[in-house]
Amino acid sequence: MKPVLLVTGGSRGIGAATALLAAEAGYAVAVNYSRSSLAADEVVRQIRAAGGQAMAAQADVARESDVLAMFERIDARLGRLDALVNNAGIVDQARRVDQMELDRLRRMFDTNILGSFLCAREAVRRMSPRHGGHGGAIVNLSSAAARIGSPGQYVDYAASKGAIDTFTLGLAREVAAEGIRVNAVRPGIIDTEIHASGGQPDRARELAPQVPMRRAGSAQEVARTIVWLLSPEASYTTGALIDVSGGR
């Protein structure tokens, strides 16, 4: 039986790269998405074409009913969850805090913070021996923004990732004795579609000269760290916040 992994936001960018690499490493992968079913289906197709096992799993991670239904579908199709990558996340248009509407703040915090909490809660309910589970591993996607604060761009996004760092530290210690490891990866400037979704399609290229390594990172470079953290190779690593940011 293959270990079962859920990657939220697995249809594009870092999530898609993680789903593909983890499938290669032997996981049966649930590829979550909220809207882009074609993109999720393409990731599933690529995994199956390479001889792996995968399913697409629609759910808006900010909606509890969606999350509950998605976990039940994964239980039924792939079996008990062994690993979770809390990757689904959003940015928004560049704004100062004094210009941020409440709706924007709610969407940001609901998706990036509540979505990660809800998925981690359902994962622990399957992994913890308290609930009949056998342990597991969780990787949360934070950001270098948690350290930098993203002034004039999206302080709300940076603050949501600061919450993810603290969530990672707390949950890691809460479940460490139950065989569940919880870590976070903090990417820097990574070349994905997230920048276009915030109205800055050229952001990765424009900011590259400010990165100590003088280039943006790729989704695959982040995925390698995530898949390592999930693996037994990282068996004594928990509560770690790992920068994958070219020195930024």
Residues in contact with ligand NAP by CB under 6 A are 8-9, 11-15, 32-36, 60-62, 87-90, 111, 115, 141, 143, 187, 189-190, 192-194, 197
What are the DSSP E strand ranges found in the chain? 4-7, 28-33, 54-58, 83-86, 136-141, 180-187, 241-244
Cβ neighbours of residue 50 under 8 Å, at least 6 residues apart? 23, 24
Q: Please report how close the Cβ of residue 9 comes to ligand NAP at its closest, in angstroms.
A: 2
Q: Give least dist CB 203 to ligand NAP, A.
A: 8
Taking the C-alpha atoms of residue 9 and residue 134, their distance in angstroms, rounded to an integer, is 25
Q: What are phi and psi of 77, to 5 degrees?
A: -85, -40
In the complex with ligand NAP, which residue's Cβ is closer, 119 or 133? Answer: 119
**Among residues 33, 154, 157, 236, which one is catalytic?**
157
154 is catalytic: no
Q: What SS3 state is found at 193?
A: coil
Q: How far apart are CA 131 and CA 54, in angstroms?
A: 25
Query: Based on CB atoms, which residue is closest to ligand NAP, 129 or 151?
Result: 151
Q: Could you tell me the smallest distance in angstroms from the CB atom of residue 35 to ligand NAP?
A: 4
11 vs 238 by CB, closer to ligand NAP = 11
Return the active site residues.
157
